[in-house]
Structure 1
């Protein structure tokens, strides 16, 4: 049984060996400069999901230099490596994501991205607008620090450098589901899995933590409204899919605002792109829209699917059009990310040792999603947040993750490295007794 009473958990935490915060700080200090350099290099050379070839090579080369034997090509471009400590103990997994986003950077940094790529048939800018460059650099530093103390390390650490967290390209598979399908935990499931995310809604120096459901489930949808093409001056001669699509988008907002019981759990329904037509005076045959649905409750999730499909079909029919509604798309959506409550309680003191108790804040529900959720379904998981917005700036108004102006205060690299090290060391030293 992995469930502990609060009394038993408190007793366990009082007797389990703990690494001193000074140990994590000393280990991290030796890699800080490298972590900073790696992050800037990765930021300047971002790669989209399933295309992280340069990033994967940088990671794999580093792990080899550490004396590890990395596996490459996992889920296309993923890299993993297992560190076996010199003493018996539990196994943990530490995960970082490597992919960037189709976003054109608007930060005036000397290492700003100038990279472009093709995404959904269009040339787009590519940017680490979500901070995965920081995650990769931090885990590279953590790996070096842990290898340096291999002889004294109890247990094993599986380093997971994952591609395509933001989702694979259309028609492809990838990310956490594919890594697991290809045997990531086949040899031995970890006793715990840890991940972190730099986050704009927290200031530098802060760590965000929440037990239980933490990040929303996410599902993509696609609606293709089919009308009949005609000249723009004679709309009565055809069926206008643009007007029908506009009304679907407008009316769909009432699904959340008027039809869902959001006092139970929050729901978000967002249209992210609309594409149709090529000329000012031609009404096209069809219009395609894509979007995302975010939920925390499975019943509400299925309800939103049904309501959006029903609405789209009836609005389209009222215009004499039809709709091909793929709700959800035939791809893996992310489940709810759930932090194991016992693990969160146990590791909170580790985070407080690094950041200070006053700087470890309780996170609200996050409507963003994470495919870390797949790992946390296989083993107790803990996913925490590291502040990215400079101190003195209102983090609630800072450009968000996924913004072309997303900005990382690089002190987050030092805090993230130390936090992940402390969590890993404390769990390894005390994990055998907790199993």
Structure 2
């Protein structure tokens, strides 16, 4: 389906969904004015959270800030849903449908290099080590925008029919070491989508892009993400006598090349994007000793379940064969960090004009290319229909292609886009509740 036809379908869907007389209960102008009023606080929240980042399942300060704000608005608030997750429930003056909005709260083990006056100097514990912590993925902005949306919507509850559920999720960046599940899966298990159960869920993510633009695609939008762990066991020997041991260093090099060849030479890149990267290799303690063990880890990004399963099967066999060639043994393990972000087709069509209300004409692309980054919002939208979209947040006048990417020490969010994100949240909730 082309972008033009998708927008046409969406416009028709919205026309059918309008209340009698074609008027919305809350106009875009009224929403814009309310968002303008809360924007200074959204900016302040973002800067405060940016200066005090916390790693996954350690977001205690962040969760307290969120919960205190939601309580001040008169919302029903549940805390410790999925360890540090927060759920806020806003009930309108009349019964109706239920819509959920989600933001993630965790930061990353990254040493910030933005030079911002509110840059992070925080540390945390990661893999048993003390590490610098920074909001290098923009979750500080996500939390601040959803807090702002909660304030705007709370001010309109007397005109609302239905319920809005605000989900502030921990550990989006994956389950910390020793934890079997990440934040979305654990929040679902502990009832974040129950009582009331949403009819739909929406979320957004800041990324490099033209400031204030929004984009997504129906069906597969963001890749499924698997963590791959490989351990090679050999026999230690002097670096001058490699034949007297089993060389896991040489075997590791062959494993990396084999993984690269599997995707480059056996997957058709025109049918579905696939990325298989070995990103860490830990082996050895001294320049002239070949160690007896090497540990590798990496990530697999896919958009097709059957293809992914086949690639995992073949990779396990190939790694075992490489190890056997050297006289070593291999352990091969895969754990999913996030499923495929699948945007509901009907909601994707309906959403386009709503986002244009928020961002402006020509600022929304409802047929964007798929992206190989991942998001555990996918687990939420497996439970209820949902749409996840991106918000361009590059600095003014900077080519997005040269903007520091998410997870970079220099990643930053253009604060001028924060009101766009708040409007998008508010209008998505309001327009969904207005649907018959």
Give the shorter-chain TM-score range: over 0.9
1:87-236 to structure 2, matched below 5 A, reads 87-172=94-179, 173-200=181-208, 202-236=209-243
Mean Cα deviation higher: 43-52 or 273-282: 273-282
- Correspondence 1:353 to 2:357: yes
What is the DSSP-based 3-state SS (H/G/I as helix, E as strand, rest coil) of the residue aligned with 2:80? Answer: strand
Mean Cα deviation higher: 362-371 or 134-143: 362-371
What's 1:283 paired with?
290
What's 1:309 paired with?
316
For the 8 Å contact 1:134–1:413, the answer to whether it is kept is yes
For the 8 Å contact 1:13–1:346, the answer to whether it is kept is no
Q: Residue 274 of structure 1: CA displacement?
A: 1.2
TM-score, normalising length from structure 2?
0.93
- Structure 1 gaps of 5+ residues are none
Mean Cα deviation higher: 230-239 or 375-384: 230-239
The number of residue pairs the alignment matches comes to 423
What's 2:345 paired with?
341
For the 8 Å contact 2:207–2:391, the answer to whether it is kept is yes
Instruction: Report Cα offsets for 1:386-428 as digits up to 9, x if no partner.
Output: 1110232111221111111112111121111111111111111
Q: Distance in 1 between matches of 2:154 and 2:194?
A: 23
Mean Cα deviation higher: 233-242 or 24-33: 233-242
What is the DSSP-based 3-state SS (H/G/I as helix, E as strand, rest coil) of the residue aligned with 1:101? Answer: coil
Q: Residue 189 of structure 1: CA displacement?
A: 2.1
Q: Distance in 1 between matches of 2:139 and 2:225?
A: 19
- Structure 2 gaps of 5+ residues are 1-7
Q: Residue 10 of structure 1: CA displacement?
A: 6.0
Q: Residue 333 of structure 1: CA displacement?
A: 3.1
Change (3 A) 1:10 1:82: closer
TM-score, normalising length from structure 1?
0.94
Q: Residue 339 of structure 1: CA displacement?
A: 1.1
Q: Residue 376 of structure 1: CA displacement?
A: 1.0
Q: Distance in 2 between matches of 1:412 and 1:63?
A: 23
What is the DSSP-based 3-state SS (H/G/I as helix, E as strand, rest coil) of the residue aligned with 1:74? Answer: coil
What is the DSSP-based 3-state SS (H/G/I as helix, E as strand, rest coil) of the residue aligned with 1:389? Answer: coil
Q: Distance in 2 between matches of 1:413 and 1:320?
A: 57
What is the DSSP-based 3-state SS (H/G/I as helix, E as strand, rest coil) of the residue aligned with 2:362? Answer: helix
What is the RMSD computed on CA atoms of the aligned residues?
Answer: 1.7
- Correspondence 1:375 to 2:380: yes
